[in-house]
Amino acid sequence: MLLRGLALVLVAAALSACGGGSKQTTTTSDLAPGCEVAVAGRAITGYLAAVTSGSRTQIRAHLSPQSDFARLTVDDSDGRTFTTTSRAKAVDWLVGRHAFSEHERLLNVQVAPGTDENHDSITGTISRSAADFATRGITNRLADFAGSVACLSGTISQLQIRSG
């Protein structure tokens, strides 16, 4: 009985190797080791939660250190743009948005290999709302974003948000 079972396994393996068996689907990733989708997902959701909370400590924790921080840009549909390469100015501006009860929620995210082995590229859509949007004529709550995540630290190193 054992030999018959072993023979069936060997025949199945031989047929599979010759293309006669069922095809197996494998999933591979072009992301560098340590740059998993889950890391990028936690980075962007943590950042959005930190901005919504207005907590300086949480915002700092979700932005890369200055040595790896490239830029934060927020383009609003009323023509106003905030942009900086200074992590400290980014933190101050994001904390200031809490005065307007800014709330940000992730709708979707796509992750791809970044510019180097330590960064993932992220793109997606968020929902944004704030108390000052109506007075500024901003009616569209959807915004697209693009940026990069530092894989080792799981932090946002670059982000551009473009409101409708």
Q: What percent of the chain is helix, strand and coil (3-state, nearest 5)?
A: 35, 30, 35
- pLDDT at residue 10, as a whole number: 36
| pLDDT by residue, tens only, the chain of 164 residues | 433 333 333 333 343 444 444 444 344 578 877 888 999 999 999 999 999 999 999 999 999 999 999 999 999 999 999 999 999 999 999 999 999 999 999 999 999 999 899 999 999 999 999 999 999 999 889 999 999 999 999 999 999 999 87
Residue 20 located in a structural domain: no
In whole angstroms, how far apart are CA 66 and each of 63, 84, 104, 146? 9, 12, 24, 19
Q: How many domains are contained in the chain?
A: 1
- pLDDT at residue 30, as a whole number: 82
Q: Quick one: which of 147, 39, 50, 159 has its CA closest to 104?
A: 50
Residue 8 located in a structural domain: no
Residue 30 located in a structural domain: no
Residue 1 located in a structural domain: no
Cα(59)–Cα(139) distance, integer angstroms: 26
- pLDDT at residue 1, as a whole number: 44
| Cα separation of the two ends of the chain | 69
- pLDDT at residue 12, as a whole number: 39
Q: Quick one: which of 106, 120, 131, 119 has its CA closest to 48?
A: 106
Cα(117)–Cα(35) distance, integer angstroms: 8
- pLDDT at residue 139, as a whole number: 86
Cα(43)–Cα(54) distance, integer angstroms: 16
Q: Is the distance from CB of 100 to CB of 61 less than 8 angstroms? A: no
- pLDDT at residue 28, as a whole number: 53
Give just the sign of the alpha carbon dihedral 11, 13, 14, 16.
positive
- pLDDT at residue 35, as a whole number: 86
Cα(117)–Cα(138) distance, integer angstroms: 38
The domain that holds 126 is classified in CATH as 3.10.450.50
Q: Which domain holds residue 69?
A: 37-163
Residue 69 located in a structural domain: yes
Residue 107 located in a structural domain: yes
Residue 21 located in a structural domain: no
- Provide the whole-model pTM: 0.80
